[in-house]
Amino acid sequence: MTRPGTSGKSGPTMHHVAAAAGVSQATVSLVLNDVGGARVSEETRRRVHQAAKELGYRTNAHAKVLREGVAEMIGFVGDHVATAPFAGKIIEGAQARAWEAGMLLLTVNTGGDRGLEAASLEAMLSHKVAGVVYASMYHRKVDVPDVLGELPAVVLNAQDRSGAFASIAPSEVLGGYTATRTLIRAGHRRIGFINIGAVEDGLPAVVGRLEGYRKALAEAGIAYDGGLHLAGDGDEAGGYRRTLELMAGDRPPTAIFCGNDRTAWGA
């Protein structure tokens, strides 16, 4: 069944909305496209929006892209973000913020496949996205594709190695400091630390959390004991093995700071 005044093929047009609201098509365009500085009364705006709602009119997003050169979409490209139980919250946050700005989030999970990543970015640019969020499952230094220099882009949960793009990442030092300080305030002096990798690898989370751990110990007057700091694997099995090693020593720790949740589960 078609709506009154429409063809039933392409749906209602601005012409139909203008006729229903008793205004010109130009006025409908100004109102529905929210053109700044347009001298249109609030009563006229109300009539136009009401007519559009009753007729079921939808703005032509493709035409708007052609006119303005940018789509009301934000691209989101991640390696394993969509499949990680905790990192999925990153997508939820990005989606909520995009929606607040009246935009949709176009998401691609690449699984670390560089070919898929390149293809997805080219597709997003061809769809004229307003910007791109380039995300990582865990905090590390990344080489951002040069093509992202063509539009606004931000690196999330990682650091751009070149420094050309704005990067938003956790404060690893503060995290390690806060966790260790919490255990110290609970009365512990021998605090083990199972990291999520080897310091030599240079992973920001590994280096930063160790720095925070040592800083909290130093402030409390506790000497750093290298025997209480072990390089884990960031998973449950590693947390289990390293905990057994710590507890088998002559002076086992009374508390353990684990570098991530999975390590803590194993511990």
CATH number at residue 53: 1.10.260.40
pLDDT tens, residue by residue, 186-208: 999 999 999 999 999 888 899 99
34, 74: one domain:
no
Does residue 213 form part of some domain?
A: yes
What H or E segment, with its residue span, contains residue 242? helix 236-247
Does residue 248 form part of some domain?
A: yes
Read off the CATH number of the domain in which 211 is found: 3.40.50.2300
Does residue 48 form part of some domain?
A: yes
Q: DSSP states of 125-161 as a string?
A: HHTT-SEEEEE-SS--EE---GGGGGS-EEEESSEET
32, 78: one domain:
no
CA separation for the pair 125, 58 (Å, rounded): 24
Count of domains for the chain = 3
Last residue of a domain, one of 107, 138, 168: 168
What residue numbers bound the domain in which 73 lies?
A: 68-168
Last residue of a domain, one of 168, 184, 213: 168
pLDDT tens, residue by residue, 155-189: 998 888 888 899 998 899 999 999 999 999 999 99
What H or E segment, with its residue span, contains residue 212? helix 204-219
Residue pair 194/230 in contact by the 8 Å Cβ criterion: yes
CA 67 to mean position of chain CA atoms:
29
Does residue 7 surpass a pLDDT of 90?
Answer: no
119, 40: one domain:
no
Shortest CA distance to 81 belongs to which of 171, 155, 192, 172?
155
180, 193: one domain:
yes
134, 200: one domain:
no
176, 252: one domain:
yes
pLDDT tens, residue by residue, 62-113: 555 445 555 588 889 988 876 666 677 888 888 888 888 878 888 888 888 8
Q: Which residue has the higher pLDDT, 137 or 30?
A: 137
Buried b (16+ CB within 10 A) or exposed e, 151-183: eebbbbbbbbeeeebebebeebbebbbebbbeb
Reported pTM: 0.64
186, 212: one domain:
yes
Last residue of a domain, one of 151, 168, 185: 168
79, 5: one domain:
no
Q: Which amino acid is residue 228, in one-letter code?
A: L
